[in-house]
Structure 1
Amino acid sequence: MQATYPNMPRLRTLSMACIAIAVLGLSGCANYMGIHSDKHIASPNAYATARSLPNQGGQWPTTDWAAQFGDPQLQQLIHEALAGNPDLQMAQARLAAARAQVEGAGAALLPRIGVSGDVYRQKFTEHTIYPPGYGGSWFTQGDAMANLTYELDLWGKNRAAQAQAISAEKAEEAADQEARLTVATAVARAYNQLAQQYALRDVLVRELKQREMLSRLARDRLKAGLDTEVETKQAQGNIADAKTQLSQLDGQILVTRHQLGALLGKGPDRGLQIARPRLATIASPRIPDNLPLNLLGRRPDIVAARWQVEAALKGVDVAKARFYPDINLMATIGFSSFGLGQLFTAASQQIQAGPAISLPIFDGGRLRANLKGEYARYEEAVASYDKTLNDALTDVADRLSNIHSTDQQMVTQAQAYDAAKSAYDLAVSRYRAGLAPQLVVLNAESFLLAQEQLRANLVATRRDQQMALIKAMGGGFDAQAAGLAQSSGSVAQAASPAPAIH
């Protein structure tokens, strides 16, 4: 006969409460006292930009910025590159991987249900706890179970991990936009380089014609006794030199075409099919008002860096939550029996349910070291953001300054070209009349050629600087429209000192 005690349930409850209090008290052994960071992302107002980036009432670039250069082929090539460039395909793959991480992190917030079953034959030993009839005999064991596990996530560890994955995904989305902008402007600038090379080729073709004309004139003067064989040979040598330069430039044109084919993702032969560029030079731009502040949402690299800071901050939250106990609810229901004939009967039913608590007490400093690492990654992300913002502001200022400088050079160069053209025409006229030696003509021709090449280079440089400015201003990207904008205070609480867990 078994004795019963009426106060037994109360004593059992009190014992459990005492054990719980003792366990929670011991949790103070694992805490993050003294681990924190005082780093915050920089504000655009922290950078001196008033003189370099003044308010000019200009407009931000639009996504169809290539249309302003007046060459439909350029727009077609950019669309083709955005569809087939391997770098963009890699960026898309990284984005897909980030989205998969979001799905995986979200799964931790949901219950996990699984079904298992097994059947096995087993011979029990005769020299242990099994009674006669079991020891030394073979039996078939069958199990069929359904399992449910659910983590309560009382301290927000899984929610923080999901938020971290979402922030990382947003960073990859912005990085994908940055890759698209980089490819588009790379195509445009390579296309402009091709236009520049063709313009220089036109100069060399004109130079070759001029030298052939000068050679004929030298032969006529030789026949008339006005020149010697020296002038004739020199003229022939100048023709050969012009042909050499022309051949060299044709090789450079082929290389640029190959580069364009690679950017399009179609191989070098695709570049050979591109028609000669017909680009226009556009007017000097004016930058928008409040550019330093508004640039935060216009450059995808800045947006990506900001989301990386947010992801690192959520990583800190995950590391902090690991100092708290994990509480899981578990339940198992199914059937288990010796012999399969009675497996799915009521008597073979098995049910188990209850909480499982895991509490860190002493782990040799692993949790604290992990939190320090997360804070270090956070501070690295903050420094990377600050550098990206600083570089972006400098990038815009440099591009704008280069454009203004080139505009001034084009004005003075036009004057120099007019003077060189007049001097060359006068030298040829005097040479025809026998009033000047060939050397005067050659010197005038060299000066004119240099001015023609300089003009072609300045026109192409001016377009290239405009394309670079468009990229520096985001190329029409808008974080708000792309769903990548953050609230102004989302990182304001980024690194407040962390109290210890008691």
Structure 2
Amino acid sequence: MPRNLWSGLCLSSLLAVLSTLSGCINSQGILPQALRLNDDKLLTDKPIRKAARKAEWPRDRWWQAYGDPQLNAWVELALADSPDLATAAARVRQAMAMAGVAESEHAPQVKFDASVQRKHWPADQYFYGPGLLGDTTGWNNTSSLGMNYDLDLWGRLRSDTEHALSLAEVAATEERAAALELQSNVVSAYIQLALHHARLDIAEAELRQREQLLELARERLAIGIGTQLEISEAEAPLPEAHRRIDLIHEAIALTRNQLAALAGKGPGEGARLERPKLSLHGEPALPSNLPLELLGRRPDVVARRWQVAAEARGIEVAKADFYPNVNLVAFLGSGSTTGDVLNFLTNGSKLTYGIGPTLSLPVFDGGRRRGKLGAATAAYDIAVEQYNRTLVEALRGVSDQLIRLHSLHEQEIFVGHGLETAERRYKLAEEAYRRGLTDYRRVLEAQSALFDQQFLEQQVHAEHLTAQAGLWVALGGGVLTEDRGPATEQLDAHEISLHLPGRH
């Protein structure tokens, strides 16, 4: 039989034996348990079904709908200088670097080793005897150029690279999620700043009217139709009115500091913020095809999808570890035991070389590989359940904001009627007091009711602005404009094709 044919048969037989022996360690019985929700069949509630379906998805700069140039500039400033976003961007770079490390394992690994030693050879009859090296001192130097190439027969390196790339996608979408959260926090704080200024106007108007009532009480006393009790009752609310104004000034200053911190700036930068000028009109509306389109629009949902894909590839990596690893190894080296210090690098040194495959077969490892596979499948189950929860919470967020927007729309109507009634009552009470038809307490009661309604009107209006922002954020805020997630078939570890021989 020809020598080449005989060698080929021996190698084939050896591979068959090794593949059979690999059954000594198998992955039988270790499977994922979690199942993804059927995204396109999740039931939506009445508010979502009732909302208009012709609207577009939020724009990437959704906050511009409020029509406030200062808000637009501040959000852009926060996106440019926020330490949180800078940290998220660094995580993306780190994940991409790790993906590059995993991808580099596909290439041949070449390294050069060299050793230079000054060595004394002993003189004894057992090892060296009376030969040339006996009782001599010389240079014992070696050099070697080696190459190692993993053939990746079972796809372990490929799966490991895809795992790392999926984790990089997770980091990238989490960066977008951090940007959306930052935008939401800036807009919410800015709306609160606008509310504090509106409350300040009301509190200052309340103080002015109470001072006018005090002056009126003094005039009535001067012409003989008033009493000192009326003056005392008019003076009593003034300290509390001043305290409320001071509290509102404090709230404005604290909110400015909050906005400055969100933008990564010092308090002095926030002190330059002027009074907001927010305006927003239009009814809440939704794009079509919810909840399925949330998968490609919300960064947190997309990140969880990539996490599931990454953990699915982690199962592939763990399973591939059950099978023999075959590498192609080659080396070229030289050595010298006598002569000059650099003699081993010259033509006079002895050259050695070799090339061929190396095999590594797991026979018994005390359960380490099964433990790693069990951990990988558990990580997949965790990722799937996190994905399911994120998707459910995303739908709940959309429904919550729609319910809140509808309620606030109704509240604004009721508050408007209440404000008209309170204004009319206050004017009647003030006129009656001027004519001496009622006492001062009635005026104070009507005035307090009026200011309460004014405060309530501003609060409901601010909550309406915040709820609209919440709906835009719940729909993804426009930071993703297309489906960035992995293909659906990559999300189910039960359907992953591992292309591995033997039992699974």
- Same fold? TM cut 0.5: yes
Paired letter, 1:362: F
In the TM superposition, what is the alpha-carbon distance from 1:11 to its structure 2 partner?
Answer: 7.8
Which residue number corresponds to residue 164 of structure 1? Answer: 163
Query: 1:444–1:13: structure 2 CA closer, same or farther, 3 Å change rule?
Result: closer
Q: Distance between the aligned counterparts of 1:13 and 1:74, measured in 2? A: 74
Contact 2:412 2:460 in 1 (8 A): yes
Paired letter, 2:59: T
In the TM superposition, what is the alpha-carbon distance from 1:493 to its structure 2 partner?
Answer: 5.1
Which residue number corresponds to residue 449 of structure 1? Answer: 451
The 5-angstrom pairing of residues 60-71 of structure 1 reads 60-71=57-68
Which residue number corresponds to residue 100 of structure 2? Answer: 103
Of 476, 480, 502, which residue of structure 1 is paired with 2:482? 480
Contact 2:312 2:490 in 1 (8 A): no
Q: Distance between the aligned counterparts of 1:12 and 1:103, measured in 2? A: 38
Contact 2:115 2:142 in 1 (8 A): yes
Query: 1:117–1:224: structure 2 CA closer, same or farther, 3 Å change rule?
Result: same
The 5-angstrom pairing of residues 110-259 of structure 1 reads 110-127=107-124, 128-132=126-130, 133-259=132-258
Contact 1:417 1:452 in 2 (8 A): yes
The 5-angstrom pairing of residues 273-292 of structure 1 reads 273-292=272-291
Which residue number corresponds to residue 331 of structure 1? Answer: 330
TM-score of the superposition, structure 1-length normalised? 0.94
TM-score of the superposition, structure 2-length normalised? 0.93
SS at match of 2:386: helix
In the TM superposition, what is the alpha-carbon distance from 1:479 to its structure 2 partner?
Answer: 5.2
Paired letter, 2:282: A
For structure 1, which segment, 89-98 or 45-54, has the greater mean C-alpha deviation from structure 2 after superposition?
45-54
Of 44, 54, 78, which residue of structure 1 is paired with 2:39? 44
Q: Distance between the aligned counterparts of 1:349 and 1:367, measured in 2? A: 40
Contact 1:33 1:500 in 2 (8 A): no
In the TM superposition, what is the alpha-carbon distance from 1:17 to its structure 2 partner?
Answer: 6.0
Which residue number corresponds to residue 367 of structure 1? Answer: 369
In the TM superposition, what is the alpha-carbon distance from 1:103 to its structure 2 partner?
Answer: 0.3
Q: Distance between the aligned counterparts of 1:14 and 1:489, measured in 2? A: 40
Q: Distance between the aligned counterparts of 1:64 and 1:10, measured in 2? A: 70
SS at match of 2:482: coil
Contact 2:312 2:493 in 1 (8 A): no
In the TM superposition, what is the alpha-carbon distance from 1:438 to its structure 2 partner?
Answer: 0.4
Of 393, 399, 402, which residue of structure 2 is paired with 1:400? 402
In the TM superposition, what is the alpha-carbon distance from 1:131 to its structure 2 partner?
Answer: 3.0
SS at match of 2:252: helix
Q: Distance between the aligned counterparts of 2:6 and 2:253, measured in 1? A: 91
Q: Distance between the aligned counterparts of 2:421 and 2:2, measured in 1? A: 115
Q: Distance between the aligned counterparts of 2:475 and 2:416, measured in 1? A: 30
Alignment coverage as a number of residue pairs: 495
Q: Distance between the aligned counterparts of 1:146 and 1:442, measured in 2? A: 96
Deviations 1:250-294 (A, max 9, x none): 111111000000001012221111111000132222111212111
Contact 1:34 1:500 in 2 (8 A): no
Q: Distance between the aligned counterparts of 2:229 and 2:258, measured in 1? A: 44
Contact 1:36 1:495 in 2 (8 A): no
Query: 1:111–1:8: structure 2 CA closer, same or farther, 3 Å change rule?
Result: closer
Contact 1:40 1:494 in 2 (8 A): no
In the TM superposition, what is the alpha-carbon distance from 1:460 to its structure 2 partner?
Answer: 0.7
Which residue number corresponds to residue 351 of structure 1? Answer: 353
Query: 1:46–1:356: structure 2 CA closer, same or farther, 3 Å change rule?
Result: same
In the TM superposition, what is the alpha-carbon distance from 1:195 to its structure 2 partner?
Answer: 0.1
In the TM superposition, what is the alpha-carbon distance from 1:135 to its structure 2 partner?
Answer: 3.1
Query: 1:383–1:9: structure 2 CA closer, same or farther, 3 Å change rule?
Result: closer
Query: 1:38–1:395: structure 2 CA closer, same or farther, 3 Å change rule?
Result: same
Query: 1:11–1:434: structure 2 CA closer, same or farther, 3 Å change rule?
Result: closer
Structure 2, unpaired ranges of 5+: none
In the TM superposition, what is the alpha-carbon distance from 1:440 to its structure 2 partner?
Answer: 0.3
In the TM superposition, what is the alpha-carbon distance from 1:224 to its structure 2 partner?
Answer: 2.5
Q: Confirm or deny that 1:29 pairs with 2:24.
A: yes
Contact 1:403 1:465 in 2 (8 A): yes
Q: Distance between the aligned counterparts of 1:17 and 1:488, measured in 2? A: 38
In the TM superposition, what is the alpha-carbon distance from 1:299 to its structure 2 partner?
Answer: 0.4
SS at match of 1:130: coil
How big is the alpha-carbon RMSD for the aligned residues of Structure 1 and Structure 2? 2.1
Paired letter, 2:52: Q
In the TM superposition, what is the alpha-carbon distance from 1:430 to its structure 2 partner?
Answer: 1.0
Q: Distance between the aligned counterparts of 1:92 and 1:69, measured in 2? A: 28
Query: 1:191–1:15: structure 2 CA closer, same or farther, 3 Å change rule?
Result: closer
Contact 1:193 1:256 in 2 (8 A): yes
Which residue number corresponds to residue 3 of structure 1? Answer: none
SS at match of 1:89: helix
For structure 1, which segment, 291-300 or 440-449, has the greater mean C-alpha deviation from structure 2 after superposition?
291-300
Paired letter, 1:97: Q
Paired letter, 1:56: A
Contact 1:38 1:496 in 2 (8 A): no
Contact 2:489 2:495 in 1 (8 A): no
Q: Confirm or deny that 1:271 pairs with 2:270.
A: yes
The 5-angstrom pairing of residues 395-434 of structure 1 reads 395-434=397-436
Q: Distance between the aligned counterparts of 2:163 and 2:202, measured in 1? A: 58
Query: 1:471–1:293: structure 2 CA closer, same or farther, 3 Å change rule?
Result: same
Q: Distance between the aligned counterparts of 2:86 and 2:280, measured in 1? A: 32
Deviations 1:131-170 (A, max 9, x none): 3232332120122221111111010000000000011111
Contact 1:37 1:496 in 2 (8 A): no
Contact 1:33 1:501 in 2 (8 A): no
In the TM superposition, what is the alpha-carbon distance from 1:176 to its structure 2 partner?
Answer: 0.5
Contact 2:309 2:486 in 1 (8 A): no
In the TM superposition, what is the alpha-carbon distance from 1:309 to its structure 2 partner?
Answer: 0.2
Q: Distance between the aligned counterparts of 1:308 and 1:404, measured in 2? A: 35
Paired letter, 2:490: S
SS at match of 1:52: helix
Percent identical among aligned pairs is 34
For structure 1, which segment, 314-323 or 54-63, has the greater mean C-alpha deviation from structure 2 after superposition?
54-63
Which residue number corresponds to residue 85 of structure 1? Answer: 82
Paired letter, 1:431: Y
Q: Distance between the aligned counterparts of 1:158 and 1:84, measured in 2? A: 38
Paired letter, 2:63: A
Which residue number corresponds to residue 56 of structure 2? Answer: 59
Which residue number corresponds to residue 489 of structure 1? Answer: 489
Query: 1:77–1:10: structure 2 CA closer, same or farther, 3 Å change rule?
Result: closer
In the TM superposition, what is the alpha-carbon distance from 1:443 to its structure 2 partner?
Answer: 0.4
Query: 1:500–1:108: structure 2 CA closer, same or farther, 3 Å change rule?
Result: closer
Q: Distance between the aligned counterparts of 1:478 and 1:9, measured in 2? A: 59
